[in-house]
Amino acid sequence: MHFTPLTIDGLFRIEPARHGDERGWFSETFRDDAFRANAADVAFVQENRSFSQKSGTLRGLHFQTPPRAQGKLVSCLAGALWDVAVDIRHGSPTYGQWHGMELTPENGVQFWIPAGFAHGFCTLVDNTVIGYKCTDTYAPDHDAGLAWDSAGIDWPDGANPETLSGKDRTQPKLADLGEVFV
């Protein structure tokens, strides 16, 4: 498993090794000791999956507020997606900056997004399934978000804002977010 720190502190690109032969391949996609030693010393307590039927579906940008903030280890189980994290840690030298990457079952890449980031994605093909492990359980009273278009994210061609949920259409702009993570 290869862990690559990204330009925004705390974010990692994780590439599990694949061992294959004529039958296909095997991959160890998560190992607690390796993750804690190379990315973050956290425990995962919940795993989620989200299915999007149409290409161009936008979801996010989501996060949970302290003390129920969540880190997320994201992967694509079917289809393809453009996954994005925005730094919302007030006082961070990279506050408001974002990082995105393509996740597919074929590339096997995972994206580690710690607490203090807003997370969202856009599907690149029909019938896309995203999976992510979380460091805290869902807490409706701490559920929050950031407007999908307020951080200068370079969304892929075909990203369709009409697919946003009602909740995601009313999220605050980055300038109006306030000091959620200090």
DSSP letter string over 18-62?
Answer: EEEETTEEEE----HHHHHHHT------EEEEEEE-STTBEEEEE
Give the model's pLDDT for residue 168.
97
- Structure confidence at residue 182 (pLDDT): 87
Segments making up each domain of the chain, as ranges: 2-19+26-171
Please give the chain's pLDDT, 182 residues, in tens: 999 999 999 999 999 999 999 999 999 999 999 999 999 999 999 999 999 999 999 999 999 999 999 999 999 999 999 999 999 999 999 999 999 999 999 999 999 999 999 999 999 999 999 999 999 999 999 999 999 998 999 999 999 999 999 999 999 999 999 999 98
Provide the pLDDT for residue 58: 98
Q: Which positions are catalytic?
A: 62, 132
Please classify residue 28 by burial: count the beta carbons closer than 10 Å to its beta carbon, then call 0-12 exposed, 13-18 middle and 19+ buried: exposed
Pick the CATH number of 2-19+26-171 from 3.10.105.10, 2.60.120.10, 2.40.40.20, 1.10.3720.10: 2.60.120.10
Nearest to 75 by CA among 112, 32, 110: 110
pTM above 0.85, yes or no: yes
